[in-house]
Amino acid sequence: MSDPLSIQACTLKHFPAELGTTAPEAFAAARLNVYDNAFAFPLAVLNQPALEHNLQWMQRFARDKGVSLAPHGKTTMSPELFDQQLAAGAWGLTFATLFQAQTGIRAGARRIIIANQVICDADLRQLQSLLQMHPDLQVWFLVDSMEQVGYIEAWAKRYGDSNPQRPVRFDCLLEIGIAGQRTGCREFEQALALARCVHQSPVLALGGIECYEGNLATDTEKDKPAVDALMSRCEAVARACEQQQLFDSDEIIISAGGSAIFDLVVPGLKISLNRPVRGVLRSGCYITHDHGVYQRHLAKVQEREHLQESLRPALEVWTMVQSVPEPGLALLTCGKRDISYDLTLPFVTGYAPVGERVRSAPGATWQITGLNDQHAYLHFDAAGPAPVVGDRIILGISHPCTTFDKWKWMPVIDDNGQARSYITTRF
């Protein structure tokens, strides 16, 4: 189960300090409503019905495709949301760093993929400690070079010399990469030679093959052949490893899957080998989805898969009009410290007029054109509907990861704006 929030309410941006406690039961009992201005703005909120829909949608997709789901936890870094993902049926969790993985372990995950290279001495010591502390814990990290293997072996020798009663053995996945992009082996012979090196290593065990296809997403007809080529490379390496008996586990993991074109990797996760294969998707952004880049990607997934429904945006940031200094321009209480802006600027998805408990459609011309640290610039046609000071403006996002890391907590609200619970983050 998730660890309880242990910091004071006054240190949490816009947590209602008048409650005098951060106890979840007291928070729910207070029946706070975002329409009543029960919170200060800006405020990042999660929609409970959309969250529940997305949890079930993605788990169902994985089940129907015959693959397992290990959601990437870096998206939310929220122990409460990890609880929900595991309860919904996730096989495990994925992280980018060992620091992140510790939050997943505390949330109850016992299968962890670190979709990155682990090499730092302190991380290796910490991983060794975690494996000894939790005998039922399995952790796989990525390898992509002889140098990495040599570094880990040298560390293990130094560690073993000073800790002779604590033998070192780490599980890993061989990463297949793409030229000019992120980490991973570029060539077949390079990958196969590395697999031999890992298999012969006294401190590493080869558990499968991994890749990341997300950088190939263009939302065009180029996506499928590009992903097919990548997954074919993974399959070729996997078959060669099997033929040469280089895998060190009874079950072979084949893993891929970002949050954009995850459907295209599924066939490559289900290859048939002489021993059991577990295909593992690592999509993370699905849990909240968004109003921008992932909404566009998922429209293509829905089209390719002939799906009747898709994911729903569950994360928004509520803000308030603080000034209308000139016709056609309003300044909002929201800035770069509160909302993602790395892929696109936020979108105006709705507004609640001052004093009203209703969500209305924004004016057709309302557009966020810029962000400062603490301000958002809302431009609109001065001849049309205009916001006024005190209006609540609701902003959608593009890329949930870089909104989550700006908040230590978020209320979970229903469709009527009532706060039912809250989640915390551990960035």
Q: What's the confidence (pLDDT) of residue 55?
A: 98
pLDDT at 56 over 50: yes
What letter does residue 226 receive in the DSSP assignment? H
Q: Which residue has the higher pLDDT, 165 or 408?
A: 408
What is the rounded CA–CA span in Å between residue 141 and residue 161?
24
Q: Which residue has the higher pLDDT, 2 or 25?
A: 25
Q: What's the confidence (pLDDT) of residue 163?
A: 80
Residue pair 423/15 in contact (Cβ under 8 Å)? The answer is: no
Q: What's the confidence (pLDDT) of residue 21?
A: 87
Helices 98-106 and 79-87 cross at an angle (nearest 10°) of 60
236-291 per-position pLDDT tens digit: 999 999 999 999 999 999 999 999 999 999 999 999 999 999 999 999 999 999 99
Backbone angles phi, psi at 402, to 5 degrees: -90, 10
What is the rounded CA–CA span in Å between residue 353 and residue 364?
16
Q: What's the confidence (pLDDT) of residue 2?
A: 47
pLDDT at 373 over 80: yes
Which region, left, alpha or beta, applies to residue 245 given φ > 0 means left and ψ of -120 to 50 means alpha?
left
Backbone angles phi, psi at 40, to 5 degrees: -75, 155
Backbone angles phi, psi at 296, to 5 degrees: -65, -45
Q: Which residue has the higher pLDDT, 165 or 379?
A: 379
Q: How confident is the model at residue 5 (pLDDT cuts 50, 70, 90)?
A: low
CA 160, chain centre distance (Å): 35
pLDDT at 1 over 80: no
3-state secondary structure at position 326: strand
pLDDT at 6 over 80: no
What is the rounded CA–CA span in Å between residue 206 and residue 381?
60
Q: Is 31 exposed, middle or buried (0-12, 13-18, 19+ CB in 10 A)?
A: exposed
* Average confidence (pLDDT) over 323-339: 98
Query: Which amino acid is present at 291?
Result: H
CA distances for 40 relative to 47, 322, 346, 372, 391, angstroms: 18, 12, 19, 19, 13
* Average confidence (pLDDT) over 207-232: 97
Q: What's the confidence (pLDDT) of residue 7?
A: 56
pLDDT at 4 over 60: no
Q: What is the 3-state secondary structure (H, E, C) of 247-300?
A: CCCCCEEEEECCCCCHHHHHHHHCCCCCCCEEEEECCCHHHCCCCCHHHHHHHH
Task: Outline where DSSP puts E strands in 338-391.
Answer: 347-352, 367-371, 376-379
Helices 146-162 and 121-133 cross at an angle (nearest 10°) of 60
* Average confidence (pLDDT) over 101-107: 97
pTM for the full predicted model:
0.95
The closest of 185, 104, 180 to 143, measured between CA atoms, is 185
380-418 per-position pLDDT tens digit: 999 999 999 999 999 999 999 999 999 999 999 999 999
174-213 per-position pLDDT tens digit: 999 999 999 999 999 999 999 999 999 999 999 999 999 9
* Average confidence (pLDDT) over 91-105: 98
Q: What's the confidence (pLDDT) of residue 84?
A: 98
Domains of the chain, CATH where assigned: 9-47+311-424 (2.40.37.20), 66-282 (3.20.20.10)
pLDDT at 313 over 60: yes
Average pLDDT over the chain reads 96
The closest of 413, 390, 422, 408 to 319, measured between CA atoms, is 390
Q: What's the confidence (pLDDT) of residue 160?
A: 80
CA distances for 36 relative to 352, 392, 417, angstroms: 10, 10, 9
Terminal Cα-to-Cα distance of the chain (whole angstroms): 18
Q: How confident is the model at residue 9 (pLDDT cuts 50, 70, 90)?
A: confident
* Average confidence (pLDDT) over 327-332: 98
What's the token pair of residue 291?
């109003």
Element (H, E) at 320: strand 315-326
Mark 196-206 as b/e (b = at least 16 C-beta within 10 Å): ebbbebebbeb
